[in-house]
Amino acid sequence: MSTHKTSAPATARVSRANGEPVHNKAEREITMAQAVREALAEEMRRDPRVFIMGEDVAEAGTPFKVLLGLVDEFGTDRVIDTPISEPGFCAIGVGAAMTGMRPVIDIMFGDFLTLTMDQIANQAAKIRYMSGGKFKVPIVFRTTLGATRRSAAQHSQSLHAWPSHVPGLKVALPSTPYDAKGLLKTAIRDDNPVVYFEDKMNFQTKGLVPEGEILIPFGVADIKRSGTDITLVATSSMVYVALGAADKLKEIGISAEVIDPRTLFPLDKQTLIDSARKTSRAIIIDEGYERYGVTGELASVIADGAFYYLDAPVKRMGAMDVPIPFSPALEDLTVPTAETVFQAAKTLCGRS
């Protein structure tokens, strides 16, 4: 189990090169779970239309304990335990959002998106357009992604490619506590449906987060580390994998730039392309299945936008195209690691 992907630093101290408004608030080191909870609490205090709905969200605070305590402040009228009815409570969320509320719907495991795609992709995503702009559906579907928890094939998937494919949806996937807070607050204030993914393995990852208001605009990638020789585009917890690889690359004299798009839609294509133009090499690292997913999209955005600057094909590193196995001996092999990214980057830089 030594290759567990969360050999990520317990404290994520990564730069925030662009995008955020300057603030001078006190920063504290808190976990991703705390950042999420804080974002929710602040937004619920600010706006009485915001409520949380899902399985075991109230007293239990979800199985991940991320929401612990919210019910004490906001009561069971605004932190609402549901039956095990994902399609049903997502649908209720959509109807509530159309009629003046701002629901945050908790889908415990991202794997359960399979049950809710009608509500998310056929209803929430399309209602504004189908009504000619007359309705709006301000709803957040908060869910999880990420493997290596020994939870096997139906509790370990990273299905963010599906909603990213669907016009009408926005998709956010924070890697740091800072981004988690800032993106979630933005998501809740957005007048459109947002699917927001947290990596289950990152809930205990710590990072500096200001108290109070931070809003991260959607569609602004963050350069988590600057570099000149190769671009590593990484999403969610793969940012830590990429940073780990960048450390190793530095040791052999290769300077890697690590970029986190933070939102898959809207996508900050320009930052990705500019970086690849500068470094002339790129790897996309994402934990979704590799085929027909996020890596293909980002790779072709770069291959197109930086075509005349690239010295090597854009390399894609997704999760292995297999259902996620239970056995630790197998599961860790299915996800990119700092080591496999390091090797791929080395090769791409002609240093095999």
Partner 1 sequence: MAANKEASLSTSGLPGQAESPVDMEEWLHMYRQMFRIRSFEEQVNQLYTKAIMPGLAHLYIGEEAIAVGVCEALNKTDYITSTHRGHGHCLAKGASPDRMFAELLGKDAGYCRGKGGSMHIADQEGGNLGANAIVGAGAGIATGAAFSAKMRKSDQVAVSFFGEGALGQGLLYEVMNMASLWKLPILYVCENNLYNEYTPYKQTTAGEISARPAAFGIRVEEVDGQDVRTVHYTARRLIEYARAGHGPAFLLCNTYRYHGHHVGDINRTYYRSKEEELHWSTERDPLKMLATWLTEQGAADDSIINQIEKEAHAEIQAAVEFGIQAPYPDPKEVDEHVYA
Site residues for ligand TPP, window 37-76 (CB under 6 A)?
A: 55
Query: Is residue 316 a contact point for partner 1 (CB under 8 A)?
Result: no
Give the C-alpha separation, 116 to 74, whole Å: 26
Euclidean distance between the first and final Cα of the chain, in Å?
A: 27
- Binders in 101-140 for ligand TPP, by CB under 6 A: 108, 112, 115
Is residue 114 a contact residue for a copy of itself (CB under 8 A)?
Answer: yes
Find which of a copy of itself, ligand TPP, partner 1, none residue 18 binds, CB within 5 to 8 Å per kind. none
Q: Determine the number of helices (DSSP H) and then strands (DSSP E) in the chain.
A: 12, 15
Q: Is 290 a catalytic residue?
A: no
Q: Cα–Cα distance between 108 and 309 in angstroms, integer?
A: 43
Q: Which residues contact 37 (CB under 8 A, 6 or more apart)?
A: 66, 67, 68, 69, 70
- Three-point CA angle 36, 42, 43, nearest 5°: 90
- Confirm or reject binding of residue 97 to partner 1 (CB under 8 A): yes
Smallest distance from partner 1 to CB 188, Å: 14
Q: Could you say whether residue 325 binds partner 1 (CB under 8 A)?
A: yes
User: Phi and psi of 234, rounded to 5°?
Assistant: -135, 145
Q: What are phi and psi of 40, to 5 degrees?
A: -65, -45
DSSP, residue by residue, 195-233 = EEEEEGGGTT-EEEEESS---PPTT--EEEE--SSEEEE
Cβ-proximal residue to ligand TPP, closest one:
84
- Residue in 86, 198, 257, 331 annotated catalytic: 86
State in angstroms the smallest separation of the CB of 150 from ligand TPP: 15
Partner whose binding site includes residue 81, from partner 1, a copy of itself, ligand TPP, none (CB under 5 to 8 Å by kind): partner 1
SS3 call for 77: coil
Nearer to partner 1, 91 or 243 (CB): 91
41 binds a copy of itself (CB under 8 A): no
Nearest to 95 by CA among 53, 47, 66: 53
Q: Which does 99 bind (CB under 5 to 8 A by kind): a copy of itself, ligand TPP, partner 1, none?
A: partner 1
Residue 190: strand, helix, or coil: coil
Among residues 129 and 307, whose Cβ is nearest to partner 1?
Answer: 129
Verify whether residue 155 is a known catalytic residue: yes
Three-state DSSP class for residue 316:
strand
State phi, psi for 95 to the nearest 5 degrees: -65, -40
Question: Any contact of residue 128 with partner 1 (CB under 8 A)?
Answer: yes
Instruction: Pick out residues in 292-311 that bind a copy of itself (CB under 8 A).
Output: 292-297, 299-301, 303-305, 307, 310
Residues in binding contact with ligand TPP, number by CB under 6 A? 6
Between 88 and 210, CB nearer to ligand TPP: 88
Distance of alpha carbon 288 from alpha carbon 272, whole angstroms: 19
**Residue 84 interacts with ligand TPP (CB under 6 A)?**
yes
| 253 scored as a contact of partner 1 (CB under 8 A) | no
Catalytic residues, by residue number, are 86, 155
Task: Note the residues at the interface with ligand TPP (CB under 6 A).
Answer: 55, 84, 86, 108, 112, 115
